[in-house]
Chain A
Amino acid sequence: MQDTMMKRASELLADGTVVRVLGWKNGEFVYDPTPAVFDSAEALAQDFVYHDFCGSNLSKYLIELSRLEGKTLVFLKPCDSYSLNQLLTEHRIDREKVYIIGIPCDGKLDPDTVRSSAEGILSAVTEGDSVQVETMYGNVTLNKADCLLERCTVCKSHKVVVFDEMLGENGTVNPDSNRFDMVEKLEAMTPEERYEFWRGELSRCIRCNACRNVCPACSCEQCVFDSPTSGVSQKAAADSFEENMFHIIRAFHVAGRCTDCGECSRVCPQHIPLHLLNRKFIKDINTYYGEYQAGAEAGSRAPLVNFTMDDCEPNVIYKGGSK
């Protein structure tokens, strides 16, 4: 796939369709490619990579890149294409300035998981269902299914939903992803248990803001938590509950717009399952307003910013605190 992508990108650069290519650049190790912009076939030949560790979602970078002169070519995996659609819906990206090549995806690897099972990694290649890892301490074979990013283990869709062209065959939506299983488990807990669960998770937060900064739905030019006059500091929890509020407020803010791309959980250095907050909102929206997938189509009206006569009224659903 990598060679096909490079070849096609070089062609589009050569015929002037695009002036730059957004992709992944080879890292120091096999598992650490960095999102990068390439402006020539030579640059692509030198550093461009695409493999199972290219998990990062490139959509958000297009907010900036689509403001530049000329078209940007971007490679989008199915997840990433939902984010892009959502950004189009929110008028954050100029569609005319982006040339999208859809690429199929059968799950990306989680470097943290691979590293925790194989220390001293020198190389790692996927072969069918397994990952062959060469380490300083010998060779290790891992099950690919055990090494996937969380979002890939419950993949909602293999379908690239927006593209100018597709490389390889497009996949389909996966209605049986089981992605709400953990949410259901949380719902089944007593309020005390649930509170303990979230306190345990969120108190691990170090306020690095990686979740917010990587999130394609968090596209405000200036976040309220960054405003020196807002009274809520971005850097530290002034009291023991503040970091909980940060994540809860953020989840509210992206509710109805979160496509469940899973980047927040992928980047969290503390491995907090932040996606569960967002998934709870998605599940609730599905339950109360009908199935809705943010980013499935550009320009769709999210239930939370729309009104229909059939909408349920909150006071009907919850009367005196019980259903």
Chain B
Amino acid sequence: MKKVSRSSLDACFAAIAASQKLYLPVADGEKKRGAKYAPWFEGAVYSTAVNTVRSAKDFFFPQVEKMTRFKMDGKQIEVEDIRKENEDFVIFGVRACDAASFAILDSVYLSDPVDSFYQNRREHGLIMTMACGKPTETCFCSVFGIDAAEPAGDISCWMTEDTVYMQANTEKGEALLASLPMLEDAADDAAEETKAAIRQVLDKLPLKDLSTDAFGGDKLMKLFDSDKWNSLSEACLACGTCTFVCPTCQCYDIRDYDTGHGIERFRCWDSCMYSDFTLCAHGNTRTTQMQRFRQRFMHKLVYYPSNNNGTFGCVGCGRCLKSCPISMNIVKVMKTLGEGNE
């Protein structure tokens, strides 16, 4: 384990940023706007906010990504592969929930056939996680077996009043830490006290006892047929907020754009909450908002676990709890559907 004083953290950032792009959470303007990831700059202040408004999935699965360019000439089409090898980058301050979300995205994008766009970003990204000093009421990562005191990533960090401890978990992480001269050696158990303090807080979180017993692949038809979906979805605005702030929502659309000089094919985030998500020339398989709403939660709580050995498609980051315009969210869905169904 390594350590650095908090006063030297900036020097540490500067050293990383000297060789590659470094992103870290910073305040996003006025206080209520919370934090966002931004490229490090001289004078950037690392935000210790419990989480960023947008998730860290953006780094590997950006909202919009150009895929191919086509040149059209009469009856002829030319396909141009515009992919470029990414440059190395480091993301600092990723929370345990978001770090766990990468494993979920990996299971989709890195399974055969591999998505090379995602893989490219993933291979060039180095993740430095930060244990959660001050988890908040909307946090429920422990429900999905995630330990906010022991975040994953290439390097895990813990912060105390005056010190940041860093533990490399991968060779890539090891190499980065070795390249930072301001780091000092620390005892392997130096962060134990901090971890214990975090776990004490985690134990007091109001959502820590949220039960997942009623969910999973084996309860597919029972949950699908539940009559509770109607009332759960009745106020849903059919917007994509929950989907877009969610670190594990990975659905995308592929669209073409006429640049005037050719066609650019891009992909972009899509939401199963949108009415055109399943729209075909011959009709739509999900015509009501209830069906679309149900799809989103069934995917996270039933379909995904069914295809991934019981792992749920939620990491308990709590973003949907904060962002949904009508305050409907996965916790309410789980509690309502779970009632009497354990």
Q: Please tell me if the beta carbons of A120 and B137 are within 8 angstroms of each other in the complex.
A: yes
Please name all residues of chain A whose beta carbon is closer than 8 Å to the beta carbon of B323 when the two chains form the complex.
269
Tally of contact residues, A, Cβ under 8 A: 49
B192 within 8 A of A: no
Please name all residues of chain B whose beta carbon is closer than 8 Å to the beta carbon of A116 when the two chains form the complex.
31-32, 34
Q: Please tell me if the beta carbons of A36 and B234 are within 8 angstroms of each other in the complex.
A: yes
Tally of contact residues, B, Cβ under 8 A: 58
Please name all residues of chain A whose beta carbon is closer than 8 Å to the beta carbon of B257 when the two chains form the complex.
238-239
Please name all residues of chain A whose beta carbon is closer than 8 Å to the beta carbon of B136 when the two chains form the complex.
115, 119-121, 136
From 283 to 301 in chain A, residues with beta carbon under 8 angstroms from any chain B beta carbon are none
Q: Please tell me if the beta carbons of A36 and B239 are within 8 angstroms of each other in the complex.
A: no
Q: How far is the CB of A147 from chain B (nearest CB, A)?
A: 9
* Option from B241, B269, B274 in Cβ contact (under 8 Å) with A210: B241
Binding-face segment, A70-78, A89-97, A185-193, A229-237: A229-237
* Option from A29, A228, A235 in Cβ contact (under 8 Å) with B268: A235
- Once A28-B332, A226-B275 are accepted as A-B contacts, the answer to whether A210 and B239 lie under 8 Å apart by CB is yes
B328 within 8 A of A: yes
Q: Please tell me if the beta carbons of A32 and B321 are within 8 angstroms of each other in the complex.
A: yes
Task: Determine chain A's interface SS by DSSP, over half rule.
Answer: loop
Which chain B residue shows the least CB distance to A263? B325
Q: How far is the CB of A191 from chain B (nearest CB, A)?
A: 22
- Once A36-B235, A120-B137, A237-B64 are accepted as A-B contacts, the answer to whether A207 and B240 lie under 8 Å apart by CB is yes
Contact digits for B136-167, partner A, Cβ 8 Å, 1 yes 0 no: 11100000000000000000000000000000
B182 within 8 A of A: no
Q: How far is the CB of A100 from chain B (nearest CB, A)?
A: 19
Query: How many Å lie between the Cα of A28 and that of B136 in the bound state?
Result: 14
Query: How many Å lie between the Cα of A116 and that of B47 in the bound state?
Result: 13
A137 within 8 A of B: yes
Q: How far is the CB of B206 from chain A (nearest CB, A)?
A: 7
Query: How many Å lie between the Cα of A187 and that of B53 in the bound state?
Result: 30
Query: How many Å lie between the Cα of A206 and that of B63 in the bound state?
Result: 8
Contact digits for B28-69, partner A, Cβ 8 Å, 1 yes 0 no: 111111100000000000000010011000000001100000
Q: Please tell me if the beta carbons of B326 and A56 are within 8 angstroms of each other in the complex.
A: yes
* Option from A35, A113, A136, A209 in Cβ contact (under 8 Å) with B326: A35
Please name all residues of chain B whose beta carbon is closer than 8 Å to the beta carbon of A270 when the two chains form the complex.
33, 53-54
* Option from A209, A233, A271 in Cβ contact (under 8 Å) with B240: A209
Query: How many Å lie between the Cα of A32 and that of B328 in the bound state?
Result: 8
Which chain A residue shows the least CB distance to B62? A236
Q: Which residues of A contact B (CB under 8 A)?
A: 27-29, 31-37, 56, 61, 110-113, 115-117, 119-122, 135-137, 206-210, 212-214, 226, 228, 233-239, 263, 266-267, 269-271
